[in-house]
Chain A
Amino acid sequence: GENVEQHPSTLSVQEGDSAVIKCTYSDSASNYFPWYKQELGKRPQLIIDIRSNVGEKKDQRIAVTLNKTAKHFSLHITETQPEDSAVYFCAASSPADSWGKLQFGAGTQVVVTP
Chain B
Amino acid sequence: NAGVTQTPKFRVLKTGQSMTLLCAQDMNHEYMYWYRQDPGMGLRLIHYSVGEGTTAKGEVPDGYNVSRLKKQNFLLGLESAAPSQTSVYFCASGGTVPSYEQYFGPGTRLTVT
- Interface size on A, as a range, is 20 to 34
Most chain B CB atoms below 10 A, which of A6, A93, A105: A93
Interface positions, chain B 79-109, Cβ under 8 Å from A, are 90, 94-95, 98-107
Interface positions, chain B 6-46, Cβ under 8 Å from A, are 31, 33, 40-45
Q: Say whether B58 faces chain A, with CB atoms less than 8 Å apart.
A: yes
* A101-B45, A104-B42, A106-B40 given; A44·B50 CB < 8 A: no
Across the interface, name the chain A residue whose C-beta is closest to B104: A43
Contact check, B105 vs A43: say whether CB atoms are below 8 A apart: yes
B-to-A contact residues, CB < 8 Å: 31, 33, 40-45, 48, 50, 56, 58, 90, 94-95, 98-107
* A43-B90, A43-B106, A43-B107 given; A102·B100 CB < 8 A: yes
Contact check, A100 vs B94: say whether CB atoms are below 8 A apart: yes
Contact check, B48 vs A107: say whether CB atoms are below 8 A apart: no
Q: Say whether A60 faces chain B, with CB atoms less than 8 Å apart.
A: no
Smallest CB–CB gap between B3 and chain A, Å?
A: 10
Contact check, A102 vs B102: say whether CB atoms are below 8 A apart: yes
Most chain B CB atoms below 10 A, which of A34, A42, A44: A44
14 further A-B contacts with Cβ under 8 Å, apart from A43-B90, A106-B40, are A32-B100, A34-B101, A43-B104, A44-B104, A46-B101, A89-B43, A99-B31, A99-B50, A100-B94, A100-B99, A100-B100, A101-B45, A105-B42, A106-B42
